[in-house]
Structure 1
Amino acid sequence: MSKNTPPPSDEPGKAIEPVDLKAALEERYLAYALSTIMHRALPDARDGMKPVHRRILYAMHQLKLNPNSAYKKCAKIVGDVMGNFHPHGDQAIYDALVRLSQDFSVRYPLIDGQGNFGNIDGDNAAAYRYTEARMTEVGTLLLEGLNEDAVDFRDNYNEEDKEPVVLPGAFPNLLANGSAGIAVGMATNIPPHNAAELCDAALHLIKFPNAGIEKLVEYVEGPDLPTGGTIVEPRASILEAYKTGRGGFRTRARWHKEETGRGGYVIVVTEIPYQVQKSRLIEKIAELLIAKKIPLLEDIRDESAEDVRIVLEPKSRSVDPEILMESLFKLTELETRISLNMNVLSKGITPKVMNLREILREWLEHRREVLIRRSRNRLGIIERRLEILSGFLIAYLNIDEVIRIVRFEDHPKAELIKAFELTENQADAILNLRLRALNKLEEVEIKKEFDALTEEKNQIEALLASEDKQWDVIAFEIKDVKKKFGKDTEIGKRRTDFAEAKEIDLEAVQEAMIEKEPVTIVVSDKGWMRAMKGHVADFSSFSFKEGDKLKTAFHAQTTDKIIVFTTAGKFYTIGADRLPGGRGHGEPIRLIVDMDNDSDIVTAFVYKAGRKLFLASSVGNGFVVGESDVIANTRKGKQVMNVKLPDEALICYPVPEGADYVASVGENRKMLLFALDQVPEMTRGKGVRIQKYKDGGIKDITLFKLEDGLTWLDSSARAHNRSKEELIEYMGARAGAGRMVPKGFPRSGKFS
């Protein structure tokens, strides 16, 4: 028996059917993915809605919950939506309804809620049995013309009712209110925009169908967020985002400085970035304050009532408010990045990332289709009414004969049609007239209505025949929307403004996030590092592990950067605040940075901007490098001096101010003096030959000003100086062999 043959079964219809697992999984997962994309996560480009939102509004439309009607319980609305159109969880429907009513979540709320609908602190809405709702004017605009055959309808989930495939969408909802969703393999995120600006851009696009994105962005400057704030994204970046349909916008809280008297001040935050929970934001800042991550900040208070008011109290009146805010922007959600991913359903079918022009064009094309369908629907109504009115006119002119036929004929309908050449509709209308309506059948009134409807019919036919007239009507409708939601209205005025991020010294911001305290950095011979509190005067008091000793120690501040140079020619940068405290022996540097196992520390020192360093290797190569060029931004360090074993980096000395000469001593105790300008300044490399050796390598180097002479210390720490004249015999060109050191030079072979 083949392995693909199903086993026999005695029961009919119970045989096992073999299915290819790969094909089955592909088919089922594709069906799930399409369902998620089409019916849950991505909005329709035409009305900007997902199915759940569309069904909520349609159910409210059926309940006649217009802006001027009474509120109804949300439980009733949720029940109708779930029972008739959206057979999913009631909480999911209610959450969607709540969001459509929150003025801090959507720019132009579609639902007017009464009761507790949540707040900007992140508190949830009350249960739907306690809240009530009705539609706003924006919601009714989206439904305008729904009963005039403006859009297609489809069967609901149980085929007992009908629901709209898309809403007429007289309001530019997709961009005005934005949308967010995660589907399968794709996502969408569209921030809210200003409706008046969108209307202006759409009107320009009607007038100039081939308008470029650059021109449209002159109207749509950028997102207009419900919670306000300031966008600090460069204009070029905003333009690129709207061109491609993908990008992002840096958004900051709006703040100002309030004087408190006697030179003191506080910072007051009045608007926070979109979709940031105020309570969580304050909690995060408070945590950073307790952890001493924001040393410039003394306290934070929430004085919000109806409006946002977060008070930030600086440590002292001397604190620069700009630097304080920059440190907060860097660490907290007072600055966020809002992404733009305009991935929507084109024509309600095809997922597609659209640019600004394509989205506006899709909305305009939908509005044109709605206009044509509504016009044809109205035309059909007029033609049916004109047919009836024509019959009434005939009946009026022949009223006695009509009465006779109705009274005496067995089949009055057929006789009326035969006698006056009427249609069935006209005959039915005449027969359905009540006797008391006969006195209203005045020829003048009938003709007046007939002429008016004929004129309207001619206008509609002209409209349907002319694309230009159609766009004129659409432009008129858009202007009407703009008038209702213009920038001069309370709801329409722009809330989010634009600014350039001020140029602030990043180092100053970095320092502002660290509490400035004096420390003593201690480095042991075996590479253990620590930071003792305060400036310790006596370095001999430090203790080390057995077999270890002091390599170097120096005073610093917790805000300083510590530079470490190793025998591999690498520089590492460590924040003084990151070093372990003075209790114990500290930590091995290899736990702090990724230092090679076969490397040792040459030296460590406090970074000083603008200073230059003189580097030399054990075989006698060297060069000068700017201190700012050795800063490493990662744990891996920065390779500056190229050395290859057995050669190692040996010397790293700061170049003293005014120094113009180099003194070099080899292991052979020969000394050479030459001008500093003979050594090149490089950012990375092997360097040039400093001194020539027959055997061994370099022992020590010092940099000095020739006019002041050369000074060294003996083993008793006594200073010895040789004048310029006494040094002439040691002077030469770089890479020379030099002469034996003068009498009195230390046996250690080092200058200090």
Structure 2
Amino acid sequence: MGKSLIPPGGGDHIQAVDLKQALEERYLSYALSTIMHRALPDVRDGMKPVHRRIVYAMSEMGLRSNGSYKKCAKIVGEVMGNFHPHGDQSIYDALVRLAQDFSVRYPLAEGQGNFGNIDGDSAAAMRYTESKMTSVAELLIEGINEDAVDFRSTYDEENSEPVVLPGAFPNLLANGATGIAVGMATSIPPHNAAELCDAALALIRKPEATVEDLLHYVEGPDFPTGGVVIDSRESILESYKTGRGGFRVRAKWNVEDTGRGGYQIVVTEMPFQVQKSRLIEKIAELLIARKLPLLDDVRDESAEDVRLVLVPKSRTVDPTLLMESLFRLSELESRIPLNLNVLSMGKVPKVMNLAEVLSEWLAHRREVLQRRSRHRLAAIERRLELLSGFLIAYLNLDEVIRIIREEDEPKLELMKTFELTDIQAEAILNMRLRSLRKLEEMEIRKEFDTLTAEKADIEALLSSEAKQWQTVAWEIGNVRKTFSKETDLGRRRTTFAEAPVADLAAIEQAMIEKEPITVVISDKGWIRALKGHMSDYGSLQFKDGDALKLAFPAHTTDKIVIFTTGGKAYTLGADKLPGGRGHGEPIRIMVDMDNDQAVLTAFVHDPARKLLLASTPGNGFIVAETELVANTRKGKQIMNVSLPDEARLCVPVSGDHVAVIGANRKMLIFPLAQLPEMSRGKGVRLQRYKDGGIADIKCFAMEEGLTWEDSAGRMHNRKKDELTEWIADRAQAGRLVPKGFPRSGKFS
């Protein structure tokens, strides 16, 4: 027997707990902690706890924007020791990001040293780098010591920290945020601060303004790295209305002339959060994999600014087509999601729209104004109390001096004689002799009058909602001036454009290396593509019991259309066909083809061509070849047939007449115009049979006559006057074939 796990004393302190309930409670508390204290930003100041603590710690350390820098290790130590009980590296990573001008639209920390770069290189260790606050961070913290916000105890209950920052800057939308909590996530792209201030001012003027109204001011995201947003206004509006959506952002590029008719493409702005070095590696991999046949080389000539050079294969390459293929295959185009999931009033996680986010920020700014005003009012009242006491002392100076010199308890006597408060009496007793100058009395009277006027103004402000909003608007107007679009930091970096309309087929072809191949299909439905164009198919090998059904030349950029006996059409990219080393692969693996169907024919897709389809009982119609192209594995049903009937023939349409031959060796010729053109259907009767079905069909021009090949390989041709007895209307029985027509009943 092993050692008993029950402790001595019978295990009285062991408590049975329901595992399910315990897990639910613990996971719920973990989820709440992640949502509230880690992943989601507060709508009021746009910050997560770690960023708020970093900014507050820097403020407490006196690291103002006009002051000196301090080692990041010291800042991290201060944050970790006083406010944030987590790893130093996670705090330093957050601090580094606040200082990166390519990660944050309006940096909150100003870094000195290596803080990483757009290539994805990490920052130097915290012992080497230094940092301080920026003017943006100072705006966020403005009024923190004037009872602007609530404070709570820190984790060790030795200090206190702000629950939220006063937030005079619209940080949530201006700098954005990303985070993954438990069961929810947030993703907010950065925006232009001047535009946000304009929208906020519009919301103050018209509180019922809709998201549509606000989009007259907020054009869309404004990424620190620039780029071009190519979404429609409708799409952008829908994203901001619902709080969910996304933005397609492309790199900004232009064409540079290299002389002699040549050119190169230069990328000057990257999509947000795309690492340049990784992007170049990806493009190089695509070049090696021969997926970018229009591109010859990629070079990084970046210094301070981004300069990515793309060299085309030849001067005839269309630059728009080349860039469209790159946008499809690389991160030169990326999608930035929008998920405005934030903590409403710091407590409730919810997805908001643009108007709701700005309204909550404005409500917070008004509350901060009220709290700061009340704090100032209390300070003024305290000071006025002292000043009024001093004035009484000056007016009765001799009596005050007498009381102080002669009375045993001068404080009580002063209070009794002049009806002073305890605070006033204490202040008089603590007054210095030098303060008894006449000049000092005048200054006190002046300060008293000034403070009295200020007190009246604050009381008027606190009693009037209109004045409060007027003051909030004035504060926001000052921020608007500081970060106007005329300033270097405030100018809009991301532009908007319509995506150029390009031919999708041309783009797809531009992504495939054009090489000659021969497509081979066997009787049992195996397909492969051999390199080059073959002239002799006799050397092809197949599995036992299998043989060649058909083979034809093509190129890797072509689409291969496969038409089955069930009347279905399937499309395969020639570049995706299995190679010619083995026997290929069954077509049924590549497409969803029914077991009771077989391949009738296959050919290279020609969008300009039309086809004549015919089924075994002799029904048929004309179809444009573009209708046969199917974008899915399921294919497209073109000809409606049901067993035992099958699709029997598929021939290109040409000329002006149709010759049909039945299994009964009767031939009928009728005008092509009598056949309907359809995209799908059963078709119309081509030739009438008592029994049997159709054998062959051919389209021809009557002027040139009808041609066929006999069993000996000789060509026969009959002109119009020799075909008179077979010419009739569609759906007739026809007459027996002319002499010399092959016994097979086929035209070739």
TM-score computed with the length of structure 1 as normaliser: 0.96
| Identity fraction in percent | 71
Match of 1:143 among 123, 141, 144: 141
Question: 1:300 matched to which residue of 2?
Answer: 298
575, 579, 582: which is aligned to 2:580? Answer: 582
Match of 1:740 among 732, 736, 739: 736
2:76 matched residue in structure 1: 78
Q: Distance in 1 between matches of 2:550 and 2:150?
A: 82
Q: Using the alignment, how far apart are the partners of 1:440 and 1:361 within structure 2?
A: 53
Q: Which runs of 5+ in 1 are unaligned?
A: 1-7
1:665–1:699 CA contact under 8 A, matched in 2 = yes
1:614–1:625 contact (8 Å) kept in structure 2: yes
Structure 2 counterparts to residues 3-402 of structure 1, below 5 A: 11=9, 14=12, 16-402=14-400
1:666 is aligned, of 662, 668, 683, to: 662
Structure 1 window deviating more from structure 2 (730-739 vs 316-325): it is 730-739
Query: Deviation at 1:675?
Result: 2.6
Any idea what the Cα deviations from partners look like across 1:195-220, whole Å, max 9, x if unmatched? Answer: 00000001111111111211100100
What are the superposed Cα offsets for residues 318-376 of structure 1, whole Å, 9 maximum, x if unpaired? 11111000000010000011111101111111111111000000000000000000000
**Higher deviation after alignment, 479-488 or 596-605:** 596-605
**Structure 2 letter corresponding to 1:295:** P
CA distance in 1, matches of 2:165, 2:701: 84
Q: Distance in 2 between matches of 1:486 and 1:145?
A: 23
The aligned runs of 1:535-554 (5 Å cut-off) are: 535-554=533-552
Q: Tell me, yes or no, if the aligned pair for 1:112 and 1:133 is still in contact at 8 Å.
A: yes
Q: Structure 2 counterpart of 1:248, which letter?
A: G
* Equivalent position amino acid for 1:739 in 2: R
The counterpart of 1:726, out of the listed 703, 722, 729, is: 722
Q: How many aligned residue pairs are there?
A: 744
How do 1:303-702 and structure 2 match up within 5 A? Answer: 303-439=301-437, 442-656=440-654, 659-702=655-698
Distance 2:48 2:174 in 1: 15
Offset from partner CA, 1:274-322 (integer Å, 9 cap, x none): 0111111000000000110001110011111111111111111111111
| Pair 1:717 & 2:708 matched | no
Greater shift, 570-579 or 247-256, is seen at: 570-579
Deviation at 1:381, TM superposition (A): 0.5
| Cα distance in structure 1, aligned partners of 2:649 and 2:438 | 114
SS of alignment partner, residue 79 of structure 1: helix
Q: Secondary structure at the match of 1:564?
A: strand
Structure 1 stretch displaced more, 226-235 or 637-646: 637-646
The Cα of 1:78 is off from its aligned counterpart by 0.9
Deviates more, 1:69-78 or 1:329-338: 69-78
Q: Secondary structure at the match of 1:720?
A: strand
Q: For residues 557 and 433 of structure 1, what CA distance do their matches in structure 2 show? A: 101
Residue 697 of structure 1 deviates from its aligned partner by 1.4
Q: Bigger shift: 435-444 or 204-213? A: 435-444
Matched residue of 1:240: which SS?
helix
**Which position in structure 2 is the counterpart of 1:4?**
none
Cα displacement string for residues 523-571 of structure 1 (whole angstroms, at most 9, x for unaligned residues)? 2222232323333333444343444333222222221111111122221
Q: Secondary structure at the match of 1:708?
A: coil
Structure 1 residue 682 displacement after superposition: 1.9
Q: Which moved further from structure 2: 691-700 or 500-509?
A: 691-700
Offset from partner CA, 1:369-390 (integer Å, 9 cap, x none): 0000000000000011011000
Amino acid at match of 2:214: L
**Aligned partners of 1:38 and 1:349 also within 8 Å:** yes
- Per the TM alignment, residue 407 of structure 1 is displaced from its structure 2 partner at its CA by 1.7
In 1: Cα distance, 2:746 partner to 2:12 partner: 97
Residue 523 of structure 1 aligns with an amino acid whose one-letter code is I
Deviation of the 1:441 alpha carbon: 6.1
Deviation readout 1:406-463 (Å, 9 max, x if unpaired): 1221111111101110011111111111222222663321111100000100110111
* Post-superposition CA distance 1:129-179 (Å, at most 9, x none): 111110000000000000000000011112111110000000000000000
In the alignment, is the contact (CA less than 8 A) between 1:231 and 1:251 conserved in 2?
yes
Q: CA deviation at 1:13?
A: 7.1
After TM superposition, give the deviation of residue 12 of structure 1 in Å: 7.5
User: Any gaps of 5 or more consecutive residues in structure 2?
Assistant: 1-5
Task: Tell me the residue number matched to 2:745.
Answer: 749
- Partner secondary structure for residue 692 of structure 1: coil
| Cα separation, 1, equivalents of 2:302 and 2:60 | 39
Contact kept? 1:248, 1:338, Cα under 8 Å: yes
Determine the C-alpha separation between the residues in 2 that align with 1:112 and 1:9: 58
- Local SS of the residue matching 2:258: strand
Q: Distance in 1 between matches of 2:447 and 2:598?
A: 102
User: Take 1:600 and 1:216, find their aligned partners in 2: how far apart are those partners?
Assistant: 60
TM-score after normalising by structure 2: 0.97
